[in-house]
Amino acid sequence: MSDFANSLSIAASGMEAQAMRLRHVSENIANADTPGYHRKVTSFETVLDQGQATGEVRLGAVKLDPSELARVLDPGNPLADQNGYYDGSNVDLVVEIADAREAQRSYEANLRMFDQARQMSASLLDLLRR
C-alpha cells in the first residue's frame, strides 16, 4: 500500500510542477509586449529529503533569459530613444506555445499515472470488501 501512496504523491508533485511551469509560460505570453521584459526560464529538479532522492519533482529557481531584447522601432512611443527604438521583450511566442504544449502533455501523463495508482489501490481494497 505504501507503494501506492508513494506513486500518488510523486504523480501529484509532477502535476504541481507542470502546472507551475504552465503558469510561468502564461506570464511570459501575457508580457510578450511589455517593454524590457525578460522571459522567465524554469527548470525541474528532484526533491531531496535528507540527501535521499524521494522521486518527487519540483520546479527549480526561476531564471531570466539573458538573451538580447528585441529592438522595436516606434518613434511615437514615449520610451523610444533618439533613433526611435525602444527595448521590447525577448519572448518568442512560438517557443512559449511549444513549451505550454509540452507542459500539458506531461501533466496529462502524470494525471494518468495518478489515476492508475488510484484504480489499482481501489481494486486492491475491493478484495477486502468481499
Residues that bind other proteins (CB under 8 A): 1, 3-4, 6-8, 10-11, 13-14, 17-18, 21, 43-46, 55-57, 102, 105-106, 109-110, 112-114, 116-117, 119-120, 123-124, 126-127, 130
**Which CB, 14 or 88, lies closer to other proteins?**
14
Q: Which residues of 89-122 are buried (b: 16+ CB within 10 A; e: fewer)?
A: bbbbeeebeebbeebeebbeebeebbeebeeebe
The nearer residue to other proteins, 59 or 72, going by C-beta atoms, is: 59
Q: Which is nearer to other proteins, 100 or 113 (CB)?
A: 113
The amino acid sitting at 76 is: G
